[in-house]
Structure 1
Amino acid sequence: MSDHGQPASGAPLTREQDVQWGSLAHLGGILSFLPSLIIWLVFKDRGPFTDREAKEALNFQITLLIAMIVLNIAVGILTVVSFGILGFLGFLTWIPWAIGVVFSILAFMRTRDGAPYRYPFAFRFIR
């Protein structure tokens, strides 16, 4: 342990720290996939709960990122083809983000008590 009560670098996480980082990986999804990725890379070998939950959060965020990219391309094509008439469909590109916020908060609330969370849909890129 360091002087500030934090475990030494690379030391296994306590159960409380493991749950904390695992739940923060889900909450970080509000911002994007980067918080989940960073938490997983830093803590995956230090706590089993964090490893599992950060992978789950990361897979969900990557799924949403793909959905956002596909929607942006589809809306762009429809806007061009319709000479701008369908440009109002741009609001659809915000739907994956809104879904991500809702499910990230739900996942955080469940995992902060140490219970695992599985998103209702996500491609499992990282196993």
Structure 2
Amino acid sequence: MSNTADRHQHPGPDEGRSAFEGSPANALPLTASEDRQFATLAHFGGILGFVPSLLIYLIFKDRGPFTAQESKEALNFTFPPTMLALVTWLLSLLPAVGGVFAVLNALIWVVIAICSVTAGIQVNRGRPYRYALNLRLFS
């Protein structure tokens, strides 16, 4: 068996590695522009509930201080009404009172959307935003 054929069966210590192996585990800090962008997305994501702000917080909290602050604020604001909307959606499936809970569910999402867009616009301008009614469950 030749030397080349032997290499294909038993790769050496540096063979078969991808270009990403050995790269540093720490991600680079966000630029000021990226920091503001992800902070804005955390608030705008409130239209979809608490999941976007949670993901942004978990992924970028250590990379940008503005993103960490604003995604946590958005998460604290969107979590309780999202849970309430889930409950009202389940109750809307009941035959007798379902219509009332369906309307309530829609109103919850409208309020979340309006507040999230308002906050996102302010944060996009570089201004920190604090929701008037916020439980601050996650610190």
* TM-score band, normalised by shorter chain: 0.7 to 0.9
Taking the TM superposition and a 5 Å limit, the aligned residue runs for 1:74-89 are: 84=96, 86-89=97-100
Q: 1:37-116, aligned counterparts within 5 Å? A: 37-72=54-89, 84=96, 86-89=97-100, 90-116=102-128
Shift of 1:72: 4.3
Higher RCO structure, 1 or 2 (CA under 8 Å, sep 6+) = 1
62-71 or 91-100: which moved more?
62-71
1:32 Cα offset (Å) = 1.7
The alignment-based identity, stated in percent, is 40
Q: What is the TM-score normalised by the length of structure 2? A: 0.73
Structure 1 CA distance for aligned equivalents of residues 86 and 98 of structure 2: 16
* Matched positions, count: 114
Output the amino acid matched with 1:115. R
Offset of residue 126 of structure 1: 1.0
CA positional deviation for 1:9: 6.0
> What is the alpha-carbon root mean square deviation over aligned residues?
2.0
After TM superposition, the runs of 4+ consecutive aligned structure 1 residues lying more than 3 A away are 69-76
* Post-superposition offset of 1:67: 2.2
State the partner residue of 1:117: 129
**TM-score, length-normalised on structure 1?**
0.79
After superposing the two structures, state which structure 1 stretch, 86-95 or 55-64, moved more: 86-95
Amino acid at match of 2:53: S
Distance in 1 (CA, whole Å) between partners of 2:127 and 2:114 is 18
Q: Larger Rg: 1 or 2?
A: 2
Flag structure 1 segments of 5+ consecutive residues without an equivalent: 1-7
SS at match of 2:30: coil
Larger helix share, 1 or 2: 1
Tell me, in whole angstroms, the C-alpha distance in 1 between the residues paired with 2:60 and 2:106: 31
Structure 2 runs not aligned, ≥5 long: 1-24
